């Protein structure tokens, strides 16, 4: 079967399965923006679902199935490059010669698998069709990293694994915390969310298969997205390096120190290679960096960064049988909630002078919130450390919105002229859903 015939078959097979049966998500893509809609995010987080939800919405608005062109570029039978990408349009025109391409809706899933896709998309957008939707599992899909040819032509909507609110909807958990039974159900759901993470397939799977699915996710990310894509010749030190960053989650991480560890073990790998690898893990959404807060832009990127992982479940299966640190899982969970909720004007940092503060949320030029994350404040020394870190950050930044997030505790702390709010993480997450942080 020639490629064009395969494309036709894939297009028609997809159309015959519509409307798609999918769970709704918090994020909703516009279908009438006349911009190229890009959806970057880690593999298996639900980017394809966002496309399917958009397609379902178009069908309810009267758009016919024949106007939908959907292709998954991760299909191993489709090997596209600059020379043959146009076969997609040829195949669609041959299927539906009566439908002008300008009236079609083009959905390209995992388009980063095609070489030179950006030039193709730009040409189609400028000459053929304004209804283009793209997903990709690489940060090249981010508006800041798109080639110059596409800048100004796109609207970006980053997708993540499930938020806690979405997790509750997927698992049928009532999100009303005002009754004792409702609160107990939410706490149980949050415990599972904290440990297993929020990948949709994992959430809906039996507990017998969760770890196996997560292991497969990591295998694909490591070998297909990282080692194959970036042509890494020696994967074993890379695997060790990733595990070390995972183990050091929520703390400033020195790549140079890990390099010296490998060197002392007789492992030959260049220091610059490790710096390249950490950047590459960021590009595939495995890790997120967090810079230290500084009033000077020059100093901002000079210190060691903290790293956070895209999913707690993924970290857990990778580090087994290492015992879990509930404090790290809780802080990573809070980071992901903050990161998914950032607007274009927001920036997130950590604070470290004499004391430390986990998160500094900056909007424009103003620090709008300081957040500490602590599993419990019952220990007197822990309580004092968390409060002292918040107060030093408050004095340094001038911010008065102070928050300590715990697993289950809730109170108000009066400290000098400041009021510190203490909230359970699960309750805070329900109160501050995506795109609604203070």
Tokens for 358?
């986990």
Rounded mean pLDDT of 70-89?
92
Please say if the pLDDT value at position 299 is more than 70.
no
Distances (CA, A) of 425 to 324, 333, 351, 436: 18, 9, 20, 16
Rounded mean pLDDT of 411-430?
95
Tokens for 211?
């770890």
Q: What is the model's pLDDT at position 434?
A: 45
Under the banding of pLDDT at 50, 70 and 90, the label for residue 301 is low
Under the banding of pLDDT at 50, 70 and 90, the label for residue 323 is low
DSSP state letters, 100-130: -GGG-EEEEETGGGSTTHHHHHHHHHHHT-S
Whether 36 and 125 have beta carbons less than 8 Å apart is answered as yes
Whether 410 and 427 have beta carbons less than 8 Å apart is answered as yes
Q: Considering the entire predicted model, what is its pTM? A: 0.93
Eight-state DSSP code of residue 411: E
Average pLDDT value over all residues in the chain = 92
Q: Tens digits of per-residue pLDDT, 13-52?
A: 999 999 999 999 999 999 999 999 999 999 999 999 999 9
* Residue 366: exposure state from Cβ atoms within 10 A (0-12, 13-18, ≥19): exposed
Rounded to whole angstroms, how far apart are CA atoms 106 and 134? 8
Rounded mean pLDDT of 216-232?
91
Domains along the chain with CATH numbers = 3-156 (3.40.50), 199-324 (1.10.10.10), 327-438 (3.40.1350)
Q: What is the model's pLDDT at position 217?
A: 96
Rounded mean pLDDT of 418-427?
96
Percentage of the chain modeled with pLDDT above 90: 76
Under the banding of pLDDT at 50, 70 and 90, the label for residue 325 is confident
In the chain, DSSP finds a helix count (H) and a strand count (E) of 16, 14
DSSP state letters, 54-93: HHHHHHHTT--GGGEEEEETT-TT----TTTTTHHHHHHH
Please say if the pLDDT value at position 435 is more than 60.
no
Please say if the pLDDT value at position 297 is more than 70.
no
Q: What is the model's pLDDT at position 267?
A: 84
């Amino acid at each position: 079967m020639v490629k064009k015939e395969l494309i036709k078959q894939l297009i028609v097979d997809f159309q015959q399965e519509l409307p798609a049966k999918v769970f709704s998500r918090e994020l909703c893509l516009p279908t009438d923006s006349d911009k190229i809609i890009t959806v970057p995010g880690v593999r298996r987080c639900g980017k394809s679902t966002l496309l399917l939800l958009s397609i379902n919405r178009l069908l309810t608005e009267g758009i016919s199935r024949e106007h939908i062109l959907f292709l998954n570029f991760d299909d191993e039978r489709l090997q596209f490059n600059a020379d043959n990408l146009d076969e997609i349009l040829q195949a669609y025109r041959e299927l539906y010669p009566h439908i002008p391409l300008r009236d079609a809706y083009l959905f390209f899933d995992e388009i980063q698998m095609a070489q030179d896709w950006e030039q193709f998309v730009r040409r189609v957008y400028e000459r053929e069709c304004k209804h283009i939707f793209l997903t990709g599992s690489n940060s090249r899909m981010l508006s800041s990293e798109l080639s110059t040819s596409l800048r100004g032509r796109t609207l970006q909507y980053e997708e993540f694994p499930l938020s806690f609110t979405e997790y509750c909807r997927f698992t049928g958990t009532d999100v009303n915390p005002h009754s004792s039974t409702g609160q107990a159900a939410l706490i149980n759901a949050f415990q599972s969310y904290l440990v297993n993470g929020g990948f949709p397939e994992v959430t809906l799977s039996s507990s017998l298969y969760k770890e196996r699915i997560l292991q497969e996710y990591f295998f694909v990310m490591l070998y297909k997205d990282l080692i194959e894509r970036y042509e890494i010749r020696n994967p074993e030190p890379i695997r060790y390096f990733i595990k070390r960053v995972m183990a050091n989650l929520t703390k400033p991480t020195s790549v140079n120190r890990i390099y010296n560890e490998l060197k002392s073990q007789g492992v030959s790998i260049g220091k610059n290679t490790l710096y390249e690898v950490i950047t590459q893990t960021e590009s595939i959404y495995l890790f997120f960096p967090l810079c230290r807060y500084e009033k000077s832009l020059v100093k901002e990127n000079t210190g060691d960064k903290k790293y956070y992982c895209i999913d707690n479940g993924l970290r857990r299966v990778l580090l087994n049988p290492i015992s879990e640190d509930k404090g790290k899982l809780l802080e990573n969970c809070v980071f992901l909630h903050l990161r998914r909720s950032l607007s274009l004007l927001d920036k997130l940092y950590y604070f470290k002078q004499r004391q430390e503060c986990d998160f500094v949320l900056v909007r424009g030029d103003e620090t709008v919130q300081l957040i500490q994350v602590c599993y419990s404040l019952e220990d007197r020394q822990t309580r004092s450390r968390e409060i002292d870190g918040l107060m030093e950050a408050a004095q340094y930044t001038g911010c008065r919105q102070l928050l300590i997030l715990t697993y289950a505790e809730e109170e108000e702390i009066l400290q000098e002229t400041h009021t510190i709010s203490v909230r359970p993480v699960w309750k805070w997450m329900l109160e501050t859903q995506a795109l609604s942080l203070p």
